[in-house]
Structures are given as structure tokens and as C-alpha cells.
Amino acid sequence: MRLQQASSPGFEHWAKLFNLKESAKTLIFLQEHGITDYDMPTERAEAAKNNYGTNSGRRKEIDKRLGEITELQKHIGAYSKGKDILAEYNRLKKLKPTALEKFTKAQSPADKFYAENESAIISCRAAKEFFDEQGYAPGKKKLPTITMLKSEYAQLAAEKKKLYSGHKASREEMTTLLMAKQNVDRILFGVSVQTKKLERDAR
């Protein structure tokens, strides 16, 4: 918009109508939400902001745990599939080579078995190392079942979905309340409050 247009009588008339409509919306909003005190919009916006922060923190905790569950499920599955294969490989490694194998330098049964089952053996070993790192061991921390992990995952996913809905609501409430406060200031004092910082806080 050009400066000449902004100072024209037509624009001034439009601006007055716009301000009246915004003022009416603000008054209706304040009445609907029982806001009768000048500081109430700011106080409620601050409460919404705190709730927004708490919500964000909890969602991060959930995301971290969901990742841990996924990793644990992967290793439990790999261990379940490969434990018998690894046990057989370890048994074959203990066998002494026959005289013929020594003489011909033929591939040992253990080496042949490993070549045929390399992926399962590597995955099973990695799973065992992971369990040790996480403290899962007999007499210490019991390894959860896949069923238990699936149940926990479903509960956390549902909580995250609910939190996301509340997250959006808190942000919208905060923004609306701060805008209402700005409109109140404009109505009462004829001033405009900058909302850039408040918008950043709402991101």
C-alpha cells in the first residue's frame, strides 16, 4: 500500500470500521472467557505458555522412549532368531580339526557354518552386546517381552497424540489472549503492543 493511500479519507474510514469490529470481537471474547481484570489476559497467556513448555518437554521424553523401545524390539527379535544359530556356531568352533582337514587345509565346519549364517550371527552378537550395555542380565534387570514393549509403545503413542492436541490448543490460547491484551491496550490507551517476541515464544 502506498503512503498516499494510507492517509486518504477512504482508508481512514476503513481503519475506523476495522478497529470497531476488532474491538467488538475482543469485548465478546473477554466476556465469554470471564476476563474482567486488565491483567488477566497476560496472566492466562503466561499460564498457557508454561503449559505449552511442559507439554513440549513431555513429548520429547516420549519420543526418546519410543526410540528406545524400537531399538530394544529390534535386538530382541534378532536375538530370538539367532540364539540357536550362535550356539551351534560356538559348538562347532570347539571341535578339533580332523587329520584330513589339517592336511588339506579344508574349510572347517565352523567356518563353513559361519559363512552360511553370517548375518544372523552378527545380529545376535550385537543384540547380546546391547543387552549387556543396558544392564539386562540374569539376577539384574529382566529383559521385557515383545508384548510388554508393544503395549508400552501403544500407550505412549496415544499420550503423544493427546499431548499434540493440547500443544496446539495451548499455543492458540496463548496467541489469542495476547492479541486480546493488545486490543485492550489499543482501546484503552490508543497504543499498539509489539507481538514479535510473543509470536516467537509460541513457536
Task: Give CA–CA dist 72/127, Å, rounded.
Answer: 9
Give residue-wise pLDDT tens across range 84-132: 999 999 999 998 877 666 666 778 889 999 999 999 999 999 999 999 9
Domain count, the chain: 1
Of 30 and 16, the structure prediction assigns the larger pLDDT to 30
Average pLDDT along the chain: 79
Q: What backbone phi and psi angles, to 5 degrees, belong to 136?
A: -85, 115
Residue 62 included in any domain: yes
Domain-embedded: residue 3:
no
Number of H helices, E strands in the chain: 8, 0
Q: pLDDT value at position 8?
A: 55
Residue-wise pLDDT for 148-199, tens only, equals 999 999 999 999 998 887 777 777 777 777 777 777 777 666 654 444 444 4
Q: Which residues contact 191 (CB under 8 A, 6 or more apart)?
A: 185
Provide the sign of the torsion angle of the four alpha carbons 150, 151, 157, 158, taken in this order: positive
Q: Is 14 within the bounds of a domain?
A: no
More confident residue, 35 or 68: 68
45 within domain boundaries: yes
CA–CA dist 117, 121 (Å, integer): 6
Does the residue 18 lie in any domain?
A: no
**Res. 7: pLDDT tops 60:** no
Dihedral over Cα of 106, 110, 113, 117: its sign? negative
Cα–Cα distances (Å) from 189 to 44, 59, 121, 122, 182, in that order, read 21, 40, 76, 73, 10
In a domain, 164, yes or no: yes
pLDDT for 9 equals 58
Q: Is the pLDDT of residue 29 over 50?
A: yes
Domain that holds residue 193: 37-201
